[in-house]
Amino acid sequence: METDGIPLEMEVNTGASLSLVAEDTYWCHWTHTELPQSQLRLCTYSGEPLEVMGSLRVRVHHGGQDINLPLTVVKGNGPSLLGRDWLEHLPDPKVGFDFGYV
């Protein structure tokens, strides 16, 4: 998956309502981009709260198309998740996925 021209490995997670990256991924790839704060309150599958740092819009290139989509940044580290919010907007979500990592 390519976001803002940057290859980004993401785990497809249909249990995640939003697509998100951890703060270490944000600092690695988007230091030039301001991170607007967000009022979102998120928790893990097991109910543990996630600290949301903010949300930004990124250009996602997939299936020969570019789409501007929201990306939520959470405190800490961990895998980048491709959630249902992106899946519903991708031209053909089955194209180019190995369904372990994108």
* pTM confidence score: 0.85
Give 16-41 as a 3 state SS string.
CCCCEEEHHHHHHHCCCCCCCCCCCC
23 located within any domain: yes
pLDDT, mean of residues 64-84: 93
- What's the pLDDT at 98? 56
Domain, as residue range, for 83? 2-87
Residue 65: strand pairing partners: 62
- Residue with token string 């543990």: 48
98 located within any domain: no
Q: Is 82 exposed, middle or buried (0-12, 13-18, 19+ CB in 10 A)?
A: buried
35 located within any domain: yes
7 located within any domain: yes
- What's the pLDDT at 44? 86
Distance CA 76, CA 42 (A): 14
pLDDT single digits (tens) 9-65? 999 888 999 999 999 999 999 988 889 888 889 988 898 999 999 999 999 998 788
27 located within any domain: yes
CATH number, domain with residue 28: 2.40.70.10
101 located within any domain: no
Q: Domain total for the chain?
A: 1
